[in-house]
Amino acid sequence: MKESDLRKYKTKSSAKVIIEKLDNVETEDIVTGIFIKSDDAEMEHLIKLFEKQLIAAKLRKGDFKGELYKFFKNTARYIKKNGLLMEFFKIAYDINIEMERKHANRDVINAYLSLIMEQVSYLENEGKTICGITKSGDAIECDEIYPKFERPIIELMISKDKPNNPKRLFELAKKKYKLLGYNIETLEDYHIYVANQQLITNMLFHLAYLINEDYMDIIPDVHFLPCFGIKGDIRINHPTPFYIEALKVRKYTIPSKGLICKINDVDSISEIFIMERFIDDKVVMLYKINMSSGGSTSGFYDIKENYFFSIWRNSDVGANIHAKVENIVLESYCRATTNKIDEVEGEKPRKEWEFYYKIDRQNGDLETKEYNKNQYIEKITTVKPYVRKLPAGAKASEEAKRLAIKYGYELEKDETFVNSFKKSVNMVKHFDV
C-alpha cells in the first residue's frame, strides 16, 4: 500500500470528523471562535489558510472533502520551503490557550486541532512523529508509538475484496496485526491500542513547540500507556489554586539541565523531572513524570496563561487524573522555586521530598547531586542582536527584515536577524570542588 493512498484515506476520514464536529455549531460561533491574531505576517498568512478550511467545512462540505488532500500537500510544501515549522507549531500551541481563554465552543476547538494535527502528518517522515523543532528550524522526530498500526484496517477498507461482515473484517485484520507484532485478540484490545496511540501522539503534538535540542530529556524514552490511568492514588497536600498563586512570583530558577524531584509518599510516581523554557517573553515549565510501574509521560505549565497540559487533559475519562497530576507537578515546581510552602508548613525539610540536579564533570560524565535552592542565585544576561544562517530553502520573516534595517544590517538570502533578548542563568553561590 502506497503512503499516498494511506494519507488520502486518513484525510477523507479526518474531513468527515471535522464536518461532524461543526454540524451543530452556528457559523457565527465558528468565525468568532477560530479568530487568532498574529503580528508576524507569515504566521498570520498560515492562520488564515486554516481558518478558510474550517469555514469551508461548515459552508462548502463537498469542496472541503474533495480539496483537503491537495490543501495539506500544498501547505506542507509552503511550510517547508519558507522554514515556517516553528510558526506552524506556535499556531497549534496558541489554539488551545486562546480559544479556552475566550471560552470558545469545544467542538470548534477540536475541529481546529484535528485539522492542524492532520497537517502535521504531511510534515513527518514515514514511521516518525514530530516531537520538537531544532534551533535552526528543522523537525526533531521520534519513532511512532505503534508503527504501521493504521495500515491493516485501512488496507482492508479500501480493498476491492473488502468483506461486508464486520466480524470477518476484524478476523482478517487480526491476522495482519499479528504479522506486525501486535497482540490483538478482541475489539477491546484494538480500542486500547487506538486510545494509547491517540493520547501519546496528542501529547507530542502539544509539546513540539516547546522542545528543541536542549529539552529532549523531557521526551519519554519509553511511553507510559495512559488509557488505564495511574495505579494508586496521588495525595494532595494543598489545593491547586494555592500553587498557582504562589508560582506567580518565584524566588528561584531551576538548574539549566533540569531538576529531579523524588516524592517518597506517592507510590505510583518514581520521580518528576522539571525544566524551564524561556520563550515568547514568558517562562514555561516542562515536566516528565517517571512512573513506578514503568514508562514516562510529559507535559507543561504556561505560567503566564495559567495553562497546564497533561496527556489526560480534555480526554474522555481522564479529568480526575489530570487534576491530580496538575496538583503534584505544581507542588514540585512550587517547592523548588518558591518559599511559599515553607512559610505554611515550616522550614524543617520534609522527608517525603528530595531534589537532585545533574552536573558535568571534566571527564565528560554526568553526576547527580542533591539540590538546595538556597545555594543558587539568578543572573540575568542580555544577548545582543545577531545575524543567523537559515536552513536550506528557508526565508527570513518580514519582522526579521524590518529589524535588520532598523539596526543597519544587510541580510543575505540565507540569513535572518535575531533581536536582542534577556535570559536567566543559575549561578552557584558556593562552588563545590
The last residue of one of the domains, among 123, 145, 160, is 123
C-alpha pair distances (Å), 264 with each of 122, 183, 232, 372: 44, 35, 14, 18
369 or 416, greater pLDDT: 416
Cβ(141)–Cβ(130) under 8 Å? yes
**pLDDT band at residue 137 under the 50/70/90 scheme:** very high
Q: In this predicted structure, what is the pLDDT of residue 214?
A: 93
> How many domains would you assign to the chain?
3
Are 325 and 410 members of one domain?
Answer: no
pLDDT at 53 over 50: yes
Are 236 and 313 members of one domain?
Answer: yes
Q: In this predicted structure, what is the pLDDT of residue 392?
A: 74
- Mean pLDDT over 292-316 rounds to 92
Are 340 and 317 members of one domain?
Answer: yes
- Mean pLDDT over 322-347 rounds to 89
How far, in Å, CA of 89 to CA of 43, rounded? 10
pLDDT at 27 over 90: no
DSSP single-letter state for residue 223: B
Domain residues for 416?
A: 376-428
When computed from its CA atoms, the radius of gyration of the chain, rounded to whole angstroms, is 24
pLDDT at 33 over 80: no
pLDDT at 328 over 80: yes
**253 torsion bin: left (phi>0), alpha (psi -120 to 50), beta (else):** beta
The residue behind cell 505549565 is 301
- Those residues whose C-beta lies under 8 Å from the C-beta of residue 208, and which sit 6 or more positions away, are 89, 92, 130, 131, 132, 133, 140
Q: In this predicted structure, what is the pLDDT of residue 394?
A: 79
Flag the least confident range among 33-42, 265-274, 362-371.
362-371
Query: Model confidence over 353-401: pLDDT tens digits?
Result: 788 776 655 444 556 667 766 665 555 566 667 788 887 777 888 888 8
Is the residue at 199 inside a domain? no
Is the residue at 153 inside a domain? no
How far, in Å, CA of 272 to CA of 297, rounded? 10
The segment with the largest mean pLDDT, out of 39-48, 72-81, 312-321, is 72-81
Q: In this predicted structure, what is the pLDDT of residue 432?
A: 39
Q: In this predicted structure, what is the pLDDT of residue 330?
A: 97
Query: Model confidence over 203-214: pLDDT tens digits?
Result: 999 999 999 999
Are 36 and 103 members of one domain?
Answer: yes
Are 354 and 239 members of one domain?
Answer: yes
Are 11 and 84 members of one domain?
Answer: yes
Are 36 and 89 members of one domain?
Answer: yes
Q: In this predicted structure, what is the pLDDT of residue 105?
A: 77
Q: In this predicted structure, what is the pLDDT of residue 295?
A: 94
Q: In this predicted structure, what is the pLDDT of residue 347?
A: 61
Mean pLDDT for all residues in the chain: 86
Q: In this predicted structure, what is the pLDDT of residue 178?
A: 94
377 or 65, greater pLDDT: 65
Cβ(274)–Cβ(332) under 8 Å? yes
Q: In this predicted structure, what is the pLDDT of residue 433?
A: 29
**232 torsion bin: left (phi>0), alpha (psi -120 to 50), beta (else):** left
- Mean pLDDT over 130-138 rounds to 94
Q: In this predicted structure, what is the pLDDT of residue 129?
A: 96
Q: For 169, how many CA atoms within 13 A lie in the half-sphere containing its CB?
A: 15
Question: Among 149, 120, 119, which Cα is nearest to 132's?
Answer: 120
Query: What percent of the chain clears pLDDT 90, i.e. is strictly above it?
Result: 50
Reported pTM: 0.82
- Mean pLDDT over 236-263 rounds to 90
Are 361 and 261 members of one domain?
Answer: yes
Burial class (CB in 10 A: 0-12, 13-18, 19+), 4: exposed
Burial class (CB in 10 A: 0-12, 13-18, 19+), 126: exposed
Torsions phi, psi for 306 (to 5 deg):
50, 55
Are 342 and 403 members of one domain?
Answer: no
- Those residues whose C-beta lies under 8 Å from the C-beta of residue 12, and which sit 6 or more positions away, are 65, 68, 69
Q: In this predicted structure, what is the pLDDT of residue 430?
A: 43
Is the residue at 356 inside a domain? yes
How far, in Å, CA of 251 to CA of 25, rounded? 46
Are 277 and 362 members of one domain?
Answer: yes
Cβ(289)–Cβ(268) under 8 Å? no
pLDDT at 252 over 80: yes
Are 343 and 422 members of one domain?
Answer: no
- Angle of the 85-101 helix axis to the 61-81 helix axis, nearest 10: 130
Is the residue at 95 inside a domain? yes
pLDDT at 166 over 90: no
- Mean pLDDT over 99-119 rounds to 83
Are 117 and 261 members of one domain?
Answer: no
What sign results for the dihedral spanned by CA atoms 154, 106, 296, 128? positive
pLDDT at 421 over 60: yes
